[in-house]
Amino acid sequence: MVKNCSGIGQFRRGTFDKILLGPGPSTVESRVLRALSEPTMGYLDSDFLAIMDETKNLLKYVFQTENDLAIAVSGTGSAGMETACVNMIEPGDKVIVCVHGYFGQRLAQVAERCGADVVTISSPWGRPVDPEDVRKAIKAAPGAKALGIVHAETSTGVLQPLGDIAKIAHDAGLFMIVDAVTSLGGVEVPVEKFSLDVVYSGSQKCLGAPPGLAPLTANGRAMEAIKKRKVPVQSWYFDLTLLARYWGDERLYHHTAPANMIYALNESLRIVAEEGIEKRWERHLKNAKALAAGLEAMGLKLLVDEPYRLPSLITVRVPEGIDEAALRKQLMSVYGIEVGSGLGELKGKILRIGLMGSSSNSRNIILLLAALGSILRSMGFAADLTASLDAARSA
Ligand SMILES: *Cc1c(COP(=O)(O)O)cnc(C)c1O
């Protein structure tokens, strides 16, 4: 008998399920969990291939793209980042990476590990990158091949405007590699509008599936460049030309598809399509505004200025003298609510509140504001609970 092996069931809370309002994963609907538990099929079973084809079409819908290549890479959002970088970058390529938070830093690190000569453009955490800085950096780095940028910076809660930067980069002949991990399914990702070349995401943020798949799309221009590489893609597992042969008509075996995860993603994408992608963006925006109004009315300060606030993740400053870790611990132990802590230079200074996918609803906003306000009061901060709930409700 193996000791101390009570299993996942011991943490099930029944009517008091954990409420996921962190930086992802978000709530996984029971429909999606049921799809996950359907019988596993072989990776070349025609029934499974039909589900893959459906999933591809649903991915094209959420990415709002006509690109031929729209797939789910096996692995979490970071696998999408690796795939984008390892395919687009050859050793010695000059690559510009915009860094306005933790995930921009990671993108720069991944690009560097692909052998790129990386030039970074920074902006203070909580602020977007300035297109003028991009223009200057491109001028100072002639021959650069690609520009990497995070659309929704989950570490700071900034939604980075992409239009001007994409135009500057494309005019100079650079490819755009875009991290849409926390925007896809919650905020418009302008793949076609700004001709974004390679865009990747994650299943567990605004799409509402469990973690484990990275939706990714690449346009014809990017795929041409990959075919013309001088050296083969260093990663066999993430080689897009090989993955495209399995996801495309050829159906050439590459690696065993994580069938049940594909079922779950398929079901979560069907939920997105049933709601309608535009309606989903509106819901995320409306709920983010309600939460922001409630937090401000409580007496708290938001990290990000209004036009750049990310609807799927709201960052709020922890008041002076309040122990951020203890606050989060009580939210979980007393109310079963998960929120995120600050990363990097924002550690201990902010809370990161995710309103992603099914987690973005008015019940969660009111519960969180009430719980947060009451804990803050017990810690000595005079949170105005009545004003907070009123402001959220009227927003
Ligand atoms: C979560 C996240 C990632 C990493 O995704 P994982 O699923 O944790 O691997 C990358 N970029 C951004 C912007 C993210 O929010």
User: Do the domain assignments include residue 72?
Assistant: yes
Question: Does 150 lie in the same domain as 257?
Answer: yes
The average confidence (pLDDT) of the chain is 96
Confidence of residue 394 (pLDDT cuts 50, 70, 90): very high
Question: Does 112 lie in the same domain as 53?
Answer: yes
Question: Does 97 lie in the same domain as 145?
Answer: yes
Question: Does 295 lie in the same domain as 215?
Answer: no
Q: From 244, 273, 302, give the residue that closes a domain.
A: 273
Atom of ligand 1 nearest to the CA of 203: 7
The count of structural domains within the chain is 2
User: Do the domain assignments include residue 204?
Assistant: yes
Question: Does 358 lie in the same domain as 315?
Answer: yes
User: Do the domain assignments include residue 46?
Assistant: yes
Residue 83: CB atoms within 10 Å = 26
Q: How far is the CA of 16 from the centre of ligand 1 (A)?
A: 27
Residue 179 near ligand 1, beta carbon < 6 Å:
yes
The residue-averaged pLDDT of 54-66 equals: 98
* CATH number of the domain within which 158 lies: 3.40.640.10
Alpha carbon 384 to its chain centroid, in Å, reads 32
Q: Are 271 and 29 in contact (CB under 8 A)?
A: yes
pLDDT at position 263 over 90: yes
Q: From 253, 273, 293, give the residue that closes a domain.
A: 273
**Domain housing 291:** 7-26+278-394
User: Do the domain assignments include residue 2?
Assistant: no
pLDDT at position 15 over 60: no
Question: Does 143 lie in the same domain as 48?
Answer: yes
Confidence of residue 175 (pLDDT cuts 50, 70, 90): very high
Alpha carbon 36 to its chain centroid, in Å, reads 21
Residue among 353, 326, 349, 293 nearest 125 (CA):
349
pLDDT at residue number 165: 98
Residue 182 near ligand 1, beta carbon < 6 Å:
yes
Question: Does 382 lie in the same domain as 368?
Answer: yes
Q: Which residues pair with 353 in a beta bridge?
A: 314
Question: Does 295 lie in the same domain as 166?
Answer: no
* CATH number of the domain within which 289 lies: 3.90.1150.10
Question: Does 225 lie in the same domain as 131?
Answer: yes
Please choose from 26, 103, 109 the residue to mutate so as to test ligand 1's pocket, defined by most ligand atoms within 8 A of CB. 103
63/131 Cα distance (integer angstroms): 24
Question: Does 219 lie in the same domain as 151?
Answer: yes
Question: What letters, b where the CB count within 10 A reaches 16 and e where it falls short, cover 263-277?
Answer: bbbbbbbbbbeeeeb
Residue 102 near ligand 1, beta carbon < 6 Å:
no
User: Do the domain assignments include residue 365?
Assistant: yes
User: Do the domain assignments include residue 1?
Assistant: no
Residue 373: CB atoms within 10 Å = 25
Confidence of residue 13 (pLDDT cuts 50, 70, 90): low
This model's pTM is above 0.95: yes
335/248 Cα distance (integer angstroms): 46
